[in-house]
Amino acid sequence: MIQPFDDTYFMKKALQEAEMAFEKGEIPVGAVIVIDNKVIARGHNLTEMLTDVTAHAEMQAVTAASNFLGGKYLKDCTLYVTLEPCQMCAGALYWSQISKIVYGARDLERGCINLNTKLHPKTTIQGGVLETEASELLKRFFIQKRNLN
Ligand SMILES: [Zn+2]
């Protein structure tokens, strides 16, 4: 069967990035940026390893995508991220003028939606793609962390 290039396909790639974060003991959030059905950037949370609160998956993916495209604006690009972006990432995405954001799980506490963080007028946002997988991974991480302490 030919794998269609749909939201689920690309969110699976973001989940693979989140798994990599998990393996490193980082809060498992992953992201990819796609243009013309091609992944041009990947990132996963590295805040512990880099001791840098800005090292969220989306921030790294945005930087990598801009490097790849040789321009700061992510026109016609879609970000797939396993967790709803926080205020900082939503802010960076605002500046990037990215066309679309697709997230997996909601983050009711720190996510940009409940905190009313403004997205760029050119940006559309959609959630709930592989939501269960994304939140299960986060739950598994926090349960494991609690058991280690
Ligand atoms: Zn963030």
72 secondary structure, DSSP code: S
Residue partners of 134: CB distance under 8 A and separation at least 6: 11, 15, 18, 82, 83, 104, 105
- 56 annotated to a ligand binding site: yes
Could you tell me the distance, in angstroms and rounded to a whole number, from the CA of residue 128 to the centre of ligand 1?
17
Q: pLDDT tens per residue, the chain (149 residues)?
A: 677 899 999 999 999 999 999 999 999 999 999 999 999 999 999 999 999 999 999 999 999 999 999 999 999 999 999 999 999 999 999 999 999 999 999 999 999 999 999 999 999 999 999 999 999 999 999 999 888 87
Catalytically active residues, by annotation: 58
Residue 143, SS3 per DSSP: helix
Distance between CA atoms of 64 and 76, rounded to whole angstroms? 15
- 77 annotated to a ligand binding site: no
Could you tell me the distance, in angstroms and rounded to a whole number, from the CA of residue 144 to the centre of ligand 1?
22
CA distances from 74 to 7, 8, 46, 85, 88 (A): 18, 21, 22, 16, 17
Distance between CA atoms of 45 and 116, rounded to whole angstroms? 23
Q: Tokens for 45? A: 């949370």
Could you tell me the distance, in angstroms and rounded to a whole number, from the CA of residue 37 to the centre of ligand 1?
24
Give the closest residue to 111 by CA, choosing from 97, 90, 128, 138.
Answer: 90
- Pairing mode, if any, of strands 124-126 and 100-105? parallel
Could you tell me the distance, in angstroms and rounded to a whole number, from the CA of residue 2 to the centre of ligand 1?
34
- 120 annotated to a ligand binding site: no
Question: What global pTM score does this model have?
Answer: 0.96
